[in-house]
Each structure stands twice: as structure tokens, then as C-alpha cells.
Structure 1
Amino acid sequence: MMRLCLLFLIFITLPAAAQLYQWTDEDGRTHYSDKPPPGQQVEAPGASSVPAKREPQPMPAESQPANLDNVTYSRPAYSEAFYLRHLLRTGQYDQLNRELEFRQQAVERDNTQDIALRSVYSTFASAENKMLNEINRWVNATPDNYQPYLARARCRGVRGWAERGGAYAHRTPRDNFSRMQREFAFAHDDLKKALAINPRALMAFVIQISLAQPIADRVAANRALQEANRMYPDNYIVRRAYIRLLVPRWGGSWNEIETFVSRQPLDTSANPKLKQLAGFEDYERGLEHYRSKDYDLAIESFNKSLTTGPNSATLYQRGRAHYWLRKYRLAIDDFNGAIHLQPDIDYFHYWRAKAFYYFGSYSNALADIERAYALNSADEDTTEFREKIFRNYNHPELSDADNNLARQMVEKEVAKYDEQNQFKQSLAYLVLGENESAEAVLRRLTQLKPENMKYARWLDFALFRQARLSDIVAFWDGVIARYPDNAVAYSERAGTYYHLEQYYRALDSARMAEKLGDPEAPEFVQRLVALTTRPEPRLASQ
């Protein structure tokens, strides 16, 4: 079972299956199985999958290595962002507040933990109304806690930037600025409330500086910087937010950047991350070269910046430069490093997916684009590339099909109740990549024979090729409503949730399949448990 967990791709003629997996091992041997390849990935918690309470723990990526020479590719696995979103979605607000307070206290004890604090609040950096509505419910449920106000300010800030758009100021309509300022005003109100409850909330100062950037409010930004540095003398994240205001495109200058860096305790601070501020100018110069499509010069600047230490943003930008030079292997290496340092950044996974795709590693491309989409389903580039990959997914039962015979089959007149030939015609449509037509035929067949799981699985596959995974979930929901003891339906729904990287929901469905006697469900349950369990934190090496 779990046939939607296929992670094979055979491109050009073909699609992917809701039934089997194909992969090649390290020795070059091809395997077929109805279970995912060993070591495959998983998503975020469902209410019945995780205890309502658990002790917060250090995040696995809190400690960053001194170098990334030994970092190699690994498929996306456990996601802290998915876990926090699960707590938010399922209304486990007390636990969510505890998790965020744990990060705050960690920074108060040790300022070098500030990147982990920034990372968890990035979970709420979404411009979607759904995120804002969920945070509003959190605020209403726990109004005496500072954490939901910070999260909403983070969300409002992103919404404001989205309203402004990415164009230069002189090309941005005034209405855009007005809408941005409206969102920012809400964010400022939330920051005041958060700081009234907890004056030491470090993320509040980061967000304040972010809100000051598009209007070049140096006074407000400097006030936030000084206050944060007074309480957290070794912090990196507030200084990193502030230095962005000093770049020429935001009204600053290279001299201002150099002056700012010269005044920071780079050599005396207990936080080695501060040394990377010395590489910020080279990073920004690299971005200028990148925007001018001078990719070799961009890489030179990024290389210089990285001599001050491993930085996810710099690795990511260098990876993009390598990508445009069609040096896909080098691009993948850079994206590996960036994701190792910051595993829950959607566009890191999007660009690695593109690099893998053109490098010819299609199953890895699929894994990354699924993670990128799960982290940010609103991104248009991610959605478009995801649909491209899904369209090319192949089913092993179709791999040897003859296109000419398939064309003859679809042009054949088939009686409405000729079940056998209707089914053959649906497969012919799939061979030709006419997935919508295949769907229409298979919809009729599943209505005619709703108990026939073969038809149901092929409909699943036709929808999968169209990247309509939410529709697949809805379809299996309907099957389960009609046949509540059908293990296949639970298995397939679990597989679909798996591809959506909604691992906690997948776990609930897989456990039901196991309870109903699916012999392969226990192994899938174990894999999902691993994907919903926070790994042991790595030892600090920096």
C-alpha cells in the first residue's frame, strides 16, 4: 500500500504512480516497490499524532558547523516549521507558547542561539490570510502571552512587504506604499503589546528594524539596535537586520557599512557569528553582480564573503549564480550547505529542486519541490515548477505503452457502459499525457463502480499528474465516508498527505490503515513517526 509515496521519476513520456516506486541504489541497480525507497522523507503534526504536551528541546540546526566541507545531500526530513504550524493549526497554543519561550530563554542564557530564535518566528512569515487568521485565534486564546503578538507582527510585516512589491521605489505606485504602511501600523501595535508583556523579546527589535527599512527610518532602527545590543551584547540577528539598511540601494553607502562593521566587537564577542558581518559588503557586491548577470564576478564576491564563515544566504546566492552558469553540481553543493544551516527556507528547496531537475536527478527534484511547496504554497514560481515535475511523473505500468496505439484507443467510439474499454481509454489518455481527459473517464468509472479500488487508484494518479493533491485527499475522504473500513483508502490518503508533506495527518491515516490490517502500514507508520519526531540536537562546533 502507500502507493502514493512513489518517489521515482521517468521523464519525457511518462508520469508518476500512486502505486509503485522505482529508484536506483548506489550500485546502479533499479528497484521497484510499493513502499518508498529507504530513507525517504515526511511532514507536520496532526492532533492525534503527537502528545499535546512535550518538553521543548533545542532545534537540530541551532548549532552551525565551523565549515561545511563534510555536508552532503540528504532528503528533506523533520521540519521544525511543520511542527510549529501543527501546534498553531490544532490550537495547541500553550505548547506553542512554551516552544517559543524556550527559544527566547535560550538566547538570554547564550546569545549565540539567536539564529534559532529568528528561525522559529520565520514560521509565521507568510502573507496568506490563512496564516493571519490562525494567528488571530492564537492571540485571542492567549492574550496575556507576548509570543502570538510577535508572530502576528512578523506576519503583518511580510504582508506589508508583499503589498509594496519588489520594484524600486520610483516604480512603485503610491497605493502600494499606503497598503504597506497599513500592515506595518498593525505590526507596530503588536510589537508594543509584545514588549509591554516581555521587554526583553529579542525578535521584537529585529521586526522593528525590518519595518523601518522600506521607509529608511534610521532613527527607529538605531533605537531598536541600541536597545537590543544593551540587553544582548553578543546578538547577531539584530545587527544583521540593521546592516541591511546601510546598503546603497536603501539609501546607504559602502562607507557606512564599513564604519558600522568597524564598530562591532567582531574579535572580542563570544558569538563567532558576528565575524560574518565583515563579509556583508562582499555579499552585497555579489548581489549587484548577480543582478547584472555577471555571475562569475558574483561568485568571486560570494567566495570572499564566505571566508568570514558559513552563511546560508551567501551560499544560496552563490548557488543561484552557479545555476545560471549551468554548473548544477556546484549549485547543488551550495544549496546543500544553505539548507543544512537553515532547513525550513522554502526558496532554498525551490532552487535546489531546479538544480536537481536539470542535473537529471528527478526524484530529488520532486522531494525538494514538495518541501518548498509545503513551506510556501503561495509562491507562484514554486507552484509552476511543481506542476511541471508532476506532469512528467510516470507510472511503470505505462512505461512500455505505444503512443500510436494509445491514440487509436482515445479516438475509438466507446459505449458509455463499456466498462472494460472505458478503462483502457483512460489509460490511453494517461499515456498521451491528456490527464484531464483521463480524469473524466475515471470519474465515471469510480461512480459506476465505487468499490473498485483499481479505478480509484488510477483516478488518484490522473489527479496526481495535475498536481491536484488536495483534490486527491477530498476523493479519498469521500471513499472513506462510503467505506469507513477500507484500508486501501486510508493508505492512499496517507500517501497523498505524505506528498503534501503533511506528515502528522499522514500518520493519522497510516495508523488507521494499520488498524484495519494493511500489512505494509506498520513500516510506513514508523517512517512517519521518524519524520514527526525532532532529532537529537547536534553538538555545537562553533
Structure 2
Amino acid sequence: MLSLRTALGVGVLLLGLGSAGLAVQSFQEKRRAAVEARIAARQEPVLTPAPGPAPQGLPVVAPAGVKQDKVPRGHVDGVALRSLLLRRQFEELTLAVEQLQWGMEANPRDEHWMTDGIQALGNGAPDSTELLDAWVKASPRSFAPYLARGTHWVNVGYLRRGTRFGAETSAEEFAGMRKAFERALPDLNLAWTLHPKAVSAARPLIHVANALSDPEARDRAFTRAAEQCPSCADVRTTYIHGLAPRWGGSYAEMDAFAEAQRRAHPELGFLRGFADWDRARSLRAEGDNDRALALLAKALSAGDFWEFRLARAKHLRRARALDSALVEANLAVALRPARADVYFERARVLASSQKWERSGKDLLHGLRLDATDADGRSLQPGVVKGLISAAWEQHEAGRREEALRLLELAGELAPGDPEVTRWRARVVTSPLHAEARVGEEQANVPDDFRAVQQRDYALARERRFAEILPLWDAFLARNPDHGLAYLERSGTHYHLRNLEAALSDLKKACDLGINEGCARARQVERARGAAR
């Protein structure tokens, strides 16, 4: 039998162990919650862009006044292509992607049409999941929706994993990545089976193989793609990325692959620059811009490739050589104008130079292509703040229209942001200069948006909402495609407690390309659902 002292000691020990166990459990729960929040934040879009106008015909833009062989002869309009998905025009979308594929088969130099088009459709945005499922259901015999949906889930996998080194990546992040890849692989394989020349399926398959450290799967995908398209460049750039040391390869392997491809196809000589490009990338963490720029100059001597230009723009920006950085960013955009990352970098260079309107436009275009990109996410707050500041400077200089244009761009980048709304109201309601003053009688003329807007805000301060409605009705009767007018009238309907009319106007504004209309429509729908 235990003595009383021993029994008490054992009890205290057990109590201590229990407390320690609870503490460990609490720590693990907090850590798991933090990881889940981190994963969710990466997948949350910076904004949910309004659909752009649906394309009329093949969504390919041909650059004007550009010499052949300097830049691609045309590029896919990813925003227009994605608008077909957002509008659920699945028949037209299927035909568009199939036409892009046929164009690539006729001329492999147009491979980037498919590469960039599929990336825009399958960019990993959360609102795409249900849309892609619906597209597959609508076009089950075409390779196109399977290829886009498979690419989408590969991008979701990378969003879940994050960009940290493996040792800094949690088990939950790896598990989330693998689950996404499990959803991607059947679609990608089926797309390639349905259309054996759809070599764009190889790129996401290679990305999966790299992430899973499966060089055999990587080589199988590349070999099959190379057989179908012996001179395709994009699939080879994806493959050579996987030969870099950080993926378990070596610079010797990269050089050997590049040289073999160059001998077979001289136009692929730019691949010889990839080893130096990767060396320069490794120097970025060390902050050695001079050595990195020298390596990138050497890479460019092998060929004028957009990723080399993009890397130079980044290094020059960090060195505060902003004019030179802008030149490189412009060249990167010219070489690959359907890639979101070239617009994000140029937006960053322009922001560093306080050229806020141009920066905001590039950022908005990039986000329309990829709204979950980490660069776009980090850029958005600073660019919006810069636009507000620039708008107020314009306003104080008496340039009211310029100020409102900047604030409307800020509103597109940050739909519903209260600071943007507040500054816009201040500019709209501020007195006009004498020569531009608009009286109440002129505000009834239904063609002057700014005059009606100013009268709206003045009446709203007195809560005379019933008097505002006829102003916008008259304006929209004459200007039925004015998205901002629908957005303004929706606020009047909302204050008059007509939620259905407010929602209808917001959806119309969204359909006409106003991001804030889309954001506010979702808010009204949630509020209406909660009230039921």
C-alpha cells in the first residue's frame, strides 16, 4: 500500500503530465490552425474580376507594327478567353480552345497560344472549380475542358503547397498539394488521350512530376510530347526547369539538354541560357545583383527569351535602375504578352517610379489573368494607396476628372474598399471651378455622367433618394451600357430598400466589366440569403 506522501507525489506527477499533454495538444491545434489559415490565404483571390467582353472569333491578338521574329506573331487574349468561362458560354469556349490547338498544330511556333490560354482558364482561382466542372459536363467529348480543369488542380496544388523550401513546408501543405494533384492527373491523362497532339497536357504533368520528385514520370511526359511536337518550345522550357539543381538535377544536365535541342532545332538555341538564368536566380537571395546581371546578359546572348528579360527587370529594379528595369519589363511584355507575371513585374517597376496609373492598369490586367498570384497580392495595397494619393494631388490641382479616373481604377483594384469610397465621395461632392460649375438644372441633362453623379451625392447627403432615381433612369435610358451608372443607381435602390433592383443593377454593372459591381452583388446576395 502506498504511503500518503507517495500517493500525493504520484498524483502531482500525473496532474503535471496531464497539464503538459493538454499544453502540447493546444500548441498542435494552434499550429494546425495557423497552417490552414496560411493555405486558405494563398488560395483567396485578391479580387474576383468582372468578366471582360466575350471575344468575337478566335481570341488571338496580332501585334501591330512589330517585325516578325522579334516577338510572337500574335498572342492569345487570356482575359477574353476566360470571359467565356465566366459567362458559361461553354460551346463557344470549347470551339475557341480547339481552334487554338489547331493553330498550334499548323504552326508549332504558336504553341504559346495554348500554353497561355489554358493557364488563364486553369489558373487555380476558387471560383473556377464549379465553372470547370460545368464545362466538362457540357463538353464531355472534347479534350479542352479536361485539360483546363487538370491544369487548374495542378495550380491549386502549388497554391496549397506554397513556395517555401521543403524543410519549411508543413505536412498539411504537402498533403493538400498531393490531393489536388490526385484530382488533376485523371483529367490531364484523359485530355491527352482524347487528343494525342494536345502536348499542352505535358507541361502540368511535368510540374506534378517535379513536385513529387518523380523524374521517370517527368521524362515519360516529355518524351511523348517531343514525339508529337519535335520543335515545341514551351514544353522544353518546362522540362529544362526540372533539370535545375533545386529539382535534383545539375547545370551539366541543363547544358547537355539545351545543346542537344539546339543541334536538332537551331531556333531552340535560347535554351542554352537557362543554366545561367538559374544561376542568377540563385544569386538573388545573396543580393549579388552585379553577378546576376552578368549571368543574365550571358543567358540573353543565347536567345532573347522572355524569362531572361523578366529576371533582368527584377534585378535592375532591386538595384534602383528603374529606367533600365522598365525597358526590360517592356521587352518581357512584348515577348510574352499573355503572361500575368510580366504585368506584375512591370507594375512593380512603375510603382517604384510612382507612375501610379500605369502601374494600376498593369496590375489590374495581371489580376484578370491570375487573381491568386503572390506578386499581385503583395502589390495591390501599395498601388491602391498610391492611386489615392495621386488622385488627391490631381484634385487639388483642379483636375477633377483625372482624379476621379484614378479613384475609379483604385476601386477596380480594391472593390468596396472604404477608403477609396470615402475619397471618391470627397472629390465628387467638392465644388467645381467656376468655369466648370454645373447647376441643378444641368444635372437633369441625361448625358453628363459626372453632373448626375455629383447631384446624386449631394441629394444623398440629405437622404433625398427618391429624387435621385429619376436622374439615373434618364441617364441610363440614353446610355444603356454605362457600367458605372448602374453601380451608382444600385446604391440608390439599396437606400430605397429595393434589394432586387439593387442586385439587378449590380449584376448589370458586373456584366459590363465593373469589378466593384461584382463584389457588391455578392455582398447583397449574402445579405439577402441571411435574411431569409
Q: TM-score w.r.t. structure 1 length?
A: 0.65
1:114 aligns with 2:130: no
What is the DSSP-based 3-state SS (H/G/I as helix, E as strand, rest coil) of the residue aligned with 2:337? coil
Report the Cα distance in structure 1 between the residues aligned to 2:327 and 2:381, rounded to whole angstroms. 24
Q: 1:82 to 1:91 in 2, by over 3 A?
A: same
* Residue number in structure 1 paired with 2:405: none
Determine if contact 2:469/2:489 at 8 Å carries over to the other structure: no
Q: Residues 85 and 121 of structure 2 are in contact (CA less than 8 Å); yes or no, is this contact kept in structure 1?
A: no
In 1, distance between residues paired with 2:513 and 2:246? 42
For 1:5, the equivalent position in structure 2 comes to none
Pairing 1:194–2:207 present = no
**Cα gap change, 1:498 to 1:363, in 2 (>3 Å):** farther
For 2:222, the aligned partner's letter is L
Decide which of 464, 467, 481 is 1:448's aligned counterpart.
464
Which of the numbers 59, 62, 66 marks the counterpart of 1:60?
Answer: 62
Q: Deviations over 1:448-476 (max 9, x none)?
A: 345449999xxxxxxxxxxxxx9997544
Q: Deviations over 1:220-259 (max 9, x none)?
A: 1111111111111111122111111111111111111122
Answer whether contact 1:146 1:197 (CA < 8 A) is retained. Answer: yes
- Show the 5 A alignment for 1:292-441: 292-379=286-373, 380-394=377-391, 398-399=395-396, 427=426
Please give the secondary structure, in 2, of the residue aligned with 1:230: helix
Q: Which amino acid aligns with 1:196?
A: T
| Structure 2 unaligned blocks of 5 or more | 1-48, 399-421, 431-456, 473-482, 499-503, 519-532
Q: Is the 8 A contact 2:146 2:187 kept in 1?
A: yes
What is the deviation of 1:104? Answer: 1.5
Give the deviation of 1:299 after TM superposition: 1.1
Q: Confirm whether residue 477 of structure 1 aligns to residue 493 of structure 2.
A: no
- Is contact 1:261–1:278 with CA below 8 Å preserved after alignment? yes
* Distance verdict in 2 for CA 1:302–1:373, change over 3 Å: same
How far 1:211 moved relative to its partner? 0.9
> CA 1:195–1:350 in structure 2 vs 1: closer, same or farther (change >3 Å)?
closer
Call closer, same or farther: CA 1:477–1:170 in 2, change over 3 Å: same
Larger Rg: 2
Cα displacement (A) at 1:192: 2.2
Distance 1:275 1:254 in 2: 16
Partner of 1:162, secondary structure, is helix
Q: SS at the partner of 2:242?
A: helix
Distance 1:499 1:50 in 2: 18
Partners in 1 of 2:249 and 2:55 — Cα distance? 48
- Percent identical among aligned pairs is 21
SS in 1 for 2:304: coil
User: Is 1:279 equivalent to 2:295 in the alignment?
Assistant: no
Counterpart of 2:153 in structure 1 is 156
**Alignment CA distance shift 1:220-1:50 (3 Å):** closer
Deviation of residue 497 (structure 1)?
A: 5.7
Moved more, 335-344 or 158-167: 335-344
Structure 2 CA distance, aligned partners of 1:373 and 1:382?
Answer: 11
1:398: Cα distance to partner?
A: 4.2
Matched AA of 1:60: A
AA in 2 matched with 1:199: P
2:410 aligns with none
How far does the alpha carbon of each residue in 1:67-97 deviate from its partner, in whole angstroms, 9 at most, with x for none?
47xxxxxxxxx97111111111122212211
Q: Distance in 2 between matches of 1:443 and 1:310?
A: 58
Q: 1:480 to 1:397 in 2, by over 3 A?
A: farther
Cα pair distance change 1:94/1:500, threshold 3 Å: same
5 Å-filtered alignment, 1:193-212, equals 193-212=190-209
> In the aligned structure 1, how far is the partner of 2:393 from the partner of 2:470?
15
Q: Name 1:25's counterpart in structure 2.
A: none
Render the CA deviation track for 1:10-50: whole Å, top value 9, x for unaligned. xxxxxxxxxxxxxxxxxxxxxxxxxxxxxxxx99544xx76
Structure ranking higher on relative contact order (CA contacts 8 Å, 6+ apart): 1
Judged with a 3 Å threshold, the aligned counterparts in structure 2 of structure 1 residues 131 and 284 are, in CA distance, closer, same or farther, namely same
Question: Cα gap change, 1:180/1:473 in structure 2, threshold over 3 Å: closer, same or farther?
Answer: farther
Q: Please list, as runs of the form range in 1=range in 2, the aligned pairs for 1:486-497 lying within 5 A after superposition.
A: none
Determine which structure has the larger helix proportion and give its number. 2
Aligned to 2:8: none
Residue 106 to residue 502, structure 1, CA distance change in 2 (3 Å): farther
* C-alpha spacing 1:317/1:451, structure 2 compared with 1 (3 Å): farther
Contact map agreement 1:370 1:386 (CA 8 A) in 2? no
Q: Does 1:254 align with 2:251?
A: yes
Relative to structure 1, the CA distance from residue 306 to residue 502 in structure 2 (aligned partners, 3 Å threshold; closer, same or farther) is farther
> Cα distance, 1:64 vs. partner?
8.4
Change (3 A) 1:351 1:169: same
Structure 1 segments unaligned to the other structure (5+ residues): 1-41, 69-77, 402-422, 432-440, 457-469, 484-488, 504-542
**1:307 aligned counterpart, secondary structure:** helix
CA separation of 1:255/1:454 partners in 2, compared to 1, >3 Å: closer, same or farther?
farther
Query: Match for 1:98 among 95, 101, 105?
Result: 95
Map residues 20-39 of structure 1 onto 2, 5 A cutoff.
none
1:233 partner SS: coil
CA distance in 1, matches of 2:121, 2:511: 25
1:29 maps to which residue? none
Q: Is the 8 A contact 1:93 1:138 kept in 2?
A: yes
Amino acid at match of 2:379: T
CA contact (8 A) 2:125 2:370 kept: no
Distance 1:394 1:140, change over 3 A: same
Instruction: Measure the CA separation in 2 of the matches of 1:490 and 1:177.
Output: 43
Task: Sort the Cα spacing of 1:238 and 1:472 in 2 relative to 1 into closer, same or farther, 3 A.
Answer: same
Could you tell me how far 1:369 is from its partner in structure 2? 2.4
Q: From the superposition, tell whether residues 502 and 371 of structure 1 become closer, same or farther in structure 2 (CA, over 3 Å).
A: farther
The letter of the residue matching 1:331 is A
1:128 deviates by 2.0
Q: Deviations 1:367-414 (Å, cap 9, x if unpaired)?
A: 22222333333342133233223332425884169xxxxxxxxxxxxx
8 Å CA contact retained: 1:350, 1:368: yes
Structure 1 376/473 Cα, relative in aligned 2: closer, same or farther at 3 Å? Answer: farther
Q: What residue number does 2:25 align with?
A: none
**Cα RMSD, aligned residues only:** 4.0
**C-alpha deviation, 1:430, in angstroms:** 9.2
Provide the secondary structure at the position in 2 that maps to 1:91: coil
Of residues 141, 146, 157 in structure 2, which corresponds to 1:144?
A: 141
CA distance in structure 2 between the partners assigned to 1:381 and 1:449 by the alignment: 39
